[in-house]
Structure 1
Amino acid sequence: MSVQEFAPAKLNLTLHVTGQREDGYHLLDSLVVFARVGDSVTLVEGGLSLSVSGPFAQGLSGDDNLCLRAARLAGAEAAISLTKNLPVASGIGGGSADAAAVLRGLARMGHELPPEPERLGADLPVCLASQPARMRGTGEILQPVPDLPDLRMVLVNPRIEVPTPAVFRALEQKNNPAMPDLPGQFDLEGLLDYLHACRNDLQDPAINLFPVIGTVLRALQDEGAMLARMSGSGATCFGIFPDATSAGMAAYRIGAAYENWWITSTGLAPQSPPI
């Protein structure tokens, strides 16, 4: 038996750090969505193995890869083929999305989902569902959100790997206000107003460590993004544009100016049915 799963890029439209537990884990409050771009995972019944291909495959086939850890957590064995299209350590949940895709695929093959998938990382539960949600706690509390407009976005990564622990260490204030209450419905204008009232608390610490993130945000703003913000702990940033044409032109112009950056124009992924 063989199954294939899409692993969409995760975007933190907001990311409020609201505290830190005694065990060191940070408490989060985040509005999470998923993009139409992502990695791809194929599973074939058999012994546990991993092969990686794609533009960002280099260095990802080690024994500690999250895909292998996910299969072990599920107590399952399969030959895993990962096509890595997303930048690594980039704030868009690539590793977590891949591991979640493995768990979804294994579930389709008859294996039970493991309890407490957040043991593989804070993004695992939300990536497992791969649909818009308000994510709280250490990632284990998920709340459905009102239907969102199909955002037209440009994603930009300056091809640097950002270590998440270093960014959290650089965050001086760990007890920050939570997100405002979500309204009952969103149109594009209302969503933008809501997002402008929110933050990514990791953005400034990440810029202090990697100033090129600030350059990315300015490039998106200069191209007319209605909102430009870093996702997760970086370095990927997103810009929200009025329509697909303006997003596509912005991606083209930024790409012409910064040829080494990873840049894509995209929308929100279709919502997937529950597992």
Structure 2
Amino acid sequence: MAPTDTGAPTPARQSEFAPAKINLTLHVTGRRADGYHLLDSLVVFADLGDRVAVAPDTGLSLTVTGPMAGGVPTGPDNLVLRAARLAGVTGAAITLDKHLPAAAGIGGGSSDAAATLRVLRDRLGVAMPAPLALGADVPVCLAARTARMRGIGENVEPVSGLPPLPAVLVNPGVSVATPDVFRRLSRRDGSAMDDIPAFADARACADWLRGQRNDLEAPARALAPGIGTVLTALGDSGAALVRMSGSGATCFGLFTDTATARQAAGQIAAANPGWWVRSTILGAAHHDPADQPIEL
């Protein structure tokens, strides 16, 4: 991806939406000899997220913008740059417009890396590398559709039949290191998820989810007690189900209608001005706010 002097106009910058990833369930079912944990997780995506834009350039660079840009590393270890290098790209100016909190259990970095790979593949014709090399969440984020993720992230099976799930996402402004959470696990050989049925509505889905679990929630709460405070706030707001996503610290509440979810988000945000609070829709085909490729 290096421009040549052909006299033609410079190619426009192309962008891709990077939706937030939510683990509705996260069962730890084993541990391999190499230390990688085996997971069984029902993953959905939100209608909010970051955006990655790429334009051909003479070198590889990353600029981070947006309301959550503060503290996001721009060096070579950033997953966006790692994704570009893995794809063999050496000439690209990449802009990451950051709206999701980092290290928050909602796949922000993994979704950003996956969006980078999608825009390189679909709009700039770059061959797709093996996404698992970038992390366990990148393969499921590459599809950005409701799926059951198993193994160490390499087994991604699309799931149909989930209704749109009105939800509120809350992060108390703390980050939890995933390795620390796994180290505090009391059991590493839990049962797998039950078979996923078809659901008549959001309440039926919440009722089924109540019988499943996130095995990382208890150790994450021990490391960051504020997670428990968030779960209580969501429960008090009338959510049909409350749970932590991923390894934390973001938690979600599922509601039976969007109006109630929006009202709950407003009340929680007003009572806790330091928290990141968003109402969203989970589980439907994710909505790219741009709908069409953006030329910046």
TM over 0.5: yes
1:111 and 2:123 are equivalent in the alignment: no
* 1:22 partner amino acid: A
Give the 3 Å change call, closer, same or farther, for CA 80–269 of structure 1 in structure 2. farther
Tell me which amino acid in the other structure corresponds to 1:110.
G
Alignment of 1:1-275 (within 5 A): 1=11, 2-46=13-57, 47-60=59-72, 61-76=74-89, 77-108=91-122, 109-115=124-130, 117-268=131-282, 271=285
Give, in whole Å, the separation in 1 of the partners of 2:235 and 2:284.
27
- How far apart, in 2, do the equivalents of 1:157 and 1:56 lie? 13
Deviation at 1:102, TM superposition (A): 0.3
| One-letter amino acid of the structure 1 residue matched with residue 94 of structure 2 | I
Q: CA deviation at 1:146?
A: 2.1
Q: Which amino acid aligns with 1:4?
A: S
TM-score, normalised relative to structure 2: 0.89
Q: What is the Cα deviation at residue 144 of structure 1?
A: 1.5
The match for 2:291 is none
Q: Percent identity?
A: 58
| Structure 2 Cα separation of the partners of residues 28 and 99 of structure 1 | 21
**Structure 1 length as normaliser, TM-score?**
0.96
Using the TM superposition, give the Cα deviation of residue 18 of structure 1 relative to its aligned residue in structure 2, in angstroms. 0.4
Which one-letter code corresponds to 1:91 in the other structure? G
- SS, match of residue 282 in structure 2: coil
Shift of 1:181: 1.0
SS in 2 for 1:267: strand
Residues 88 and 95, structure 1, Cα contact 8 Å, conserved in 2 = yes
Stretches of 4+ aligned residues off by more than 2 angstroms: 184-190, 268-273
**Separation in 2 of the partners of 1:189 and 1:236?**
21
Task: Give the letter for the 1:168 counterpart.
Answer: F
1:153 and 1:240 in contact (8 A); partners too: yes
Figure out how many residues of one structure are paired with residues of the other and give that number: 272
Q: Distance in 2 between matches of 1:216 and 1:208?
A: 14
| Alpha-carbon distance in 1 for matches of 2:187, 2:282 | 32
Q: CA RMSD in A?
A: 1.4
Asked if the contact 1:146/1:186 (under 8 Å) is kept, the reply is no
Moved more, 183-192 or 93-102: 183-192
Counterpart-to-counterpart distance in 2, 1:138 and 1:128: 15
